[in-house]
Amino acid sequence: MAETLPADVALVLDAVLGEDDPVHLAPRRQVPHIRVRGRCTCGCDTAYFDLDRHAVEPAPSGPGTVVAAEVPIFMEDGECPGEVLVFTQGGYLSWLEVCSWSDETEVSLATAERSLRLGCQPSDKAEATK
């Protein structure tokens, strides 16, 4: 492999592509074969991937662009200011997007990583609206 994945990207991919979900297994197996081609410059750290398509099996999700994983980001106070999305194109990992819903809270890959690591949960208020 030419270069290793940045630690933040590797950590978040590992967390959102859980081993217990069969839908996540194919893209998860592709992770060792991707490298970051570019990052969004707005500060959100959305990362675009290059993947050696000869080295991996595509996920069985068809030829289109699909969301392979979608994980909300929670702050310590239970606020949910955004989410992390993993996209595949034609079954191949394509990009990791950090999406912000909040005007007040800045969301980046670092925020997502912290949320996943701390296991932040929705607040009681958010939980009650389910």
- Work out how close the CB of 129 gets to Zn ion at its nearest, in angstroms, rounded to a whole number: 28
Minimum CB distance to Zn ion smaller for 89 or for 100: 100
Q: Based on the shown chain and the rule CB under 5 A, indicate whether residue 56 belongs to the binding site for Zn ion.
A: no
Number of residues that bind Zn ion (CB under 5 A): 4
- Work out how close the CB of 44 gets to Zn ion at its nearest, in angstroms, rounded to a whole number: 3
Query: Cβ(71)–Cβ(116) under 8 Å?
Result: yes
- Work out how close the CB of 12 gets to Zn ion at its nearest, in angstroms, rounded to a whole number: 15
- Interactions with Zn ion, residue window 11-50 (CB under 5 A): 40, 42, 44, 46
Task: Please name the helix (run of DSSP H) or strand (run of DSSP E) that holds residue 9, with its range, or none.
Answer: helix 7-16
- The span from the CA of 38 to the CA of 115, in Å, is 23
- The span from the CA of 36 to the CA of 3, in Å, is 9
- Work out how close the CB of 108 gets to Zn ion at its nearest, in angstroms, rounded to a whole number: 9
Instruction: Identify residue 45 by its one-letter amino acid code.
Output: D
- DSSP three-state, residue 47: strand
Q: Based on the shown chain and the rule CB under 5 A, indicate whether residue 59 belongs to the binding site for Zn ion.
A: no
Provide CB contacts within 8 A for 64, sequence distance 6+: 89, 90
Q: Which residues bind Zn ion (CB under 5 A)?
A: 40, 42, 44, 46
